[in-house]
Homo-oligomer: A and B are copies of this chain.
Amino acid sequence: MDIREFLKKDQFAASNGIELVDVRKGYARAKLVVEERHLNAGGIVQGGALFTLADLCFAAAVNSHGALTVSLQSNIYYFRSETVGATLYAESRELDLHNKVCTYQIDITNDDGQLIASFTATGFRKTVPLPFEPVE
């Protein structure tokens, strides 16, 4: 099993239509095409849908290093609202990688390259055996 197959087991992301489109060592990109089911009561994409898109991207980027990594905390800033039909991309940027702790920032953009939201998270790198093959 490689990391892509492992992360297909993220049922919350998968059942909400969030897809991993690229994973390399220390990097990931994920995608969400906004449908009715992703909207909040105000008719725009729910914050939790944006958060989940970013979180899957974070999980792929951090686990690509070959240490099982859990999230300690995250924050998200919202800049623009989107609605049905928009395609949103999450792309990771490694800010810091230490032995036990790492920090990644995930930008969410739309098809026009506009910044929709910015997410940052702290990962804690466990010393348990990896449940998948490391990324080369």
Interface residues of A (CB under 8 A from B): 6-13, 15-16, 36-42, 45-49, 51-52, 55-56, 59, 68, 70-81, 95-96, 100-101, 103, 105, 115, 118, 120, 122, 124, 131
Closest chain B residue, CB of each to CB of A38: B12
A102, B42: Cα distance in complex, Å? 18
Query: Is B73 touching A12 in the complex (CB atoms < 8 A)?
Result: no
- Chain A binding surface, main DSSP class: mixed
Q: Which of B36, B51, B95 contacts A52 (CB 8 A)?
A: B51
A72, B95: Cα distance in complex, Å? 13
Query: Is A48 touching B120 in the complex (CB atoms < 8 A)?
Result: no
Closest chain B residue, CB of each to CB of A15: B37
Query: Is A100 touching B103 in the complex (CB atoms < 8 A)?
Result: no
Q: Which of B36, B72, B101 contacts A11 (CB 8 A)?
A: B36
